[in-house]
Amino acid sequence: MRAWILFLSTILLAFPAVAADREAAKASYQQGNDLFDNFRFAEAAAAYGRAIEQDPKFLEAYFNHALAYEMVDRGKAVLEWHRFADLAANVPEFADQLGQADARIQALGMLPVYPEGLQVSHYVSSASDYYAEIAVDSELNTWNSFPIKVMIGSVPNADWAQGAREAFKIWKGMFPLELSADSDEADILFDWESGTGENGHAGEEQDWVKFRRVGDAPTGRKVAYISVDLSRQWSKDEMRAIVLHEMGHALGIKGHSDSKSDIMYWQMQDKSRQVYIPRVMFPIAWKSLVSKPSQRDLNTLIRLYNAPGSIVRLK
């Protein structure tokens, strides 16, 4: 297959595209870049494909075409990376990109078949993501075996227990999770005894989630331990928000969102609401919290799991 692609590519490269086609290819390529930057990966792949048809020597388009396909179809992404690698094999200025392509071909081949909720078909382009901000630090925190087993354990407060269970149920509706009562088999464990030793607000945490290897290093089983600040009297809703946030870290996101509407925003968001009632001297006010992961949170996880390492598209 690879030899046949190389043969065809050699023939195509022997016949340079006419100037008009090259200009059209540049326009299609720029359109692809704009679509890629707006998280519209399927449309970006189509635009890069047009650029390649218009100029078969456009190596940057081949590279970005393969990269966009990673968020569309893993099998096609592998084929497109092979296509780029074959064409770039004898082009010295693309030596670095050739190494990246070979690494991604190998990495994509090693990714597991993910459960439905992590498939790229569940990525919603209009919601965007914050993958670029968390990718580098998060790459070693993803899971390869599903469902991920979670042990909530013995919670010292009834309201906290209810908030934690609600948070687990919410995540379970979006991510392949399973409750476990056995600490020896759990992938994510809550520590309700030692606490964090840090006072502060949820989302301003310092290492509240820690990944460790249990057993013989380096082959031991990976386990995520979640601790929270026990020095405050969190309400049930606050504990639900805390557990939702910390579970996001335990599922792989090392870092925070920059949007207050995301559960992975760096600070737990209290939203005050005021209602003025006639003949009542003071307004009635209450607080609500972000109640579940946003589609942007989910998009970030989907991209984190399906992209075999962070990489920047070519300009």
pLDDT tens, position by position, for the chain (315 residues)?
Answer: 555 544 445 444 444 444 548 999 999 999 999 999 999 999 999 999 999 999 999 999 999 999 999 999 999 999 999 999 999 999 999 999 999 999 999 999 999 999 999 999 999 999 999 999 999 999 999 999 999 999 999 999 999 999 999 999 999 999 999 999 999 999 999 999 877 765 544 445 667 999 998 877 666 789 999 998 888 899 999 999 999 999 999 999 999 999 999 999 987 654 444 444 455 445 444 456 889 999 999 999 999 999 999 999 999
Question: Is residue 161 domain-shared with residue 272, that is, in the same domain?
Answer: yes
Residue 222 included in any domain: yes
Sign, CA dihedral 89-94-95-99, equals negative
Residue 116 included in any domain: no
**End-of-domain residue from the set 110, 136, 166:** 110
Question: Is residue 130 domain-shared with residue 246, that is, in the same domain?
Answer: yes
User: CB–CB of 133/243 below 8 Å?
Assistant: no
Question: Is residue 129 domain-shared with residue 32, that is, in the same domain?
Answer: no
Question: Is residue 68 domain-shared with residue 174, that is, in the same domain?
Answer: no
pTM above 0.75, yes or no: yes
Question: Is residue 98 domain-shared with residue 139, that is, in the same domain?
Answer: no
User: CB–CB of 305/118 below 8 Å?
Assistant: yes
Question: Is residue 151 domain-shared with residue 264, that is, in the same domain?
Answer: yes
Domain housing 87? 2-110
Residue 176: other Cβ atoms inside 10 A:
17
Question: Is residue 155 domain-shared with residue 264, that is, in the same domain?
Answer: yes
Question: Is residue 93 domain-shared with residue 191, that is, in the same domain?
Answer: no
Count of H-run helices and E-run strands, the chain = 10, 7
Range 177-200 burial, b when 16+ CB lie within 10 A, else e: beebeeeeebbbbbebeeebeeee
Question: Is residue 89 domain-shared with residue 179, that is, in the same domain?
Answer: no
Residue 237 included in any domain: yes
Which residues, 6 or more positions from 315, have their beta carbon under 8 angstroms from its beta carbon? 33, 60
Residue 269 included in any domain: yes
- Identify any residues that bridge with 285 across adjacent strands, giving them in sequence order: 274
> What is the tally of structural domains in the chain?
2
